Structure 1
Amino acid sequence: MTHSLGPHVLGQRVVVRRIVPGETGPTGGPAFTDVLGTCESWSDGEVLIRTEEGDEVRIPTGLIVSGKPVPPRPSRFRRLTDADVDARLDALRGEPAPPPPVDVQLIGVARLARSLGEGGGEVRSSDAGDGTLVVEVLHDGEPVATATLRHDDEWALLRTLDVEDDHRRRGSRRLLLAAVTGALAERGISVLAGEIPADDPAARGLASAIGFERHHTTTAAG
């Protein structure tokens, strides 16, 4: 079966029509279903689509009937001007802003929860006063990954995200972010913001992979 999709759609939002094996459609022929989401891998005769609910759908390429890239869903933050967002963050920082250029990244807490799935392990969150929230992932009762945030009303700003060297690349960062999401949801916070140096591609890549949207990039005054 031929179609125009392939590895070139990696990272793109796509809609894929596939055959449902063993089922019959209303006209007596094969049954079909559509899958909408982001193409995360295309190899060994299989494509992996992550739906907007965070589910993984693996489709043998031989069952794909048709498909195409589709435009990203309109951002809920598009109506906010740069000045609107900067004013929010100025109220949350509690300390000087990082030197520009910095990418201001935003995500809805509910969307982040869908992207990360359920967390796990031993976690702890505490309010340190003055709108500061500390979230930790623990190992044998000791923190191995720590996030600090400041929150006010329905927004929170991620200030630090640290993982002990011995626990890097073990999923601790993802567990920490899942714990952050839970702590924010418990407090009725709906938007999480982050500020990432524009020259840090690794951090920008991580933010993009879990659904953060770059709202704007700060520039030096004058």
Structure 2
Amino acid sequence: MYVVRITRADIGARVVIRRRIAGPVPLTDVIGTLQAWTAGVLTIEHANGEIISIPEGDLIAAKVIPPPPIRGAQRGQRQDPDVQDVEADR
């Protein structure tokens, strides 16, 4: 059973939305930040900057999800360049 678990109060949150689309596979998922929900249309910003508009009538399921995981190069970056890495100095 699908459930829409987001509201307008979730604007600014990272969400996953399952929606209807035309084509041989009638459903697809969108992950991004809920930017707006006005006049029956949700606006989602994908991580690559793409803006996706989804009519409320196409919603099948939706929920708020946690921030994306930290990937490869981001893990190795120092938070503060003034802090020395003790392990690197050994």
Report the TM range for the smaller structure's normalisation: 0.7 to 0.9
SS at match of 2:45: strand
State which structure, 1 or 2, has the greater radius of gyration over its C-alpha atoms: 1
Task: Tell me how far 1:74 sits from its aligned partner.
Answer: 2.9
SS at match of 1:24: coil
CA distance in 1, matches of 2:68, 2:48: 13
Q: What is the TM-score of this pair, normalised by structure 2?
A: 0.74
1:1-222 aligned at under 5 Å gives the runs 3-21=4-22, 23-25=23-25, 31-75=26-70, 76=74, 80=78, 85-87=80-82
Percent of pairs with identical residues: 28
CA distance in 1, matches of 2:76, 2:9: 28
Give structure 1 regions of 4+ aligned residues with deviation exceeding 2 angstroms.
74-81
CA distance in 1, matches of 2:16, 2:33: 9
CA distance in 1, matches of 2:60, 2:47: 21
Where do 5+ consecutive residues of structure 2 fail to align?
Answer: 84-90
SS at match of 2:82: helix
Q: Which letter does structure 2 place at the counterpart of 1:62?
A: G
- RCO higher in structure (CA 8 A, sep ≥6): 2
Q: What is the TM-score of this pair, normalised by structure 1?
A: 0.32
Task: Tell me how far 1:24 sits from its aligned partner.
Answer: 3.5
Task: Note the alpha carbon deviations across 1:148-207, whole angstroms, 9 max, x for none.
Answer: xxxxxxxxxxxxxxxxxxxxxxxxxxxxxxxxxxxxxxxxxxxxxxxxxxxxxxxxxxxx
More helix by share: 1
Q: Which letter does structure 1 place at the counterpart of 2:32?
A: G
More strand by share: 1
Q: CA RMSD in A?
A: 2.4
CA distance in 2, matches of 1:65, 1:17: 5
CA distance in 2, matches of 1:58, 1:87: 43
Where do 5+ consecutive residues of structure 1 fail to align?
Answer: 26-30, 89-222
- Give the paired residue count: 79
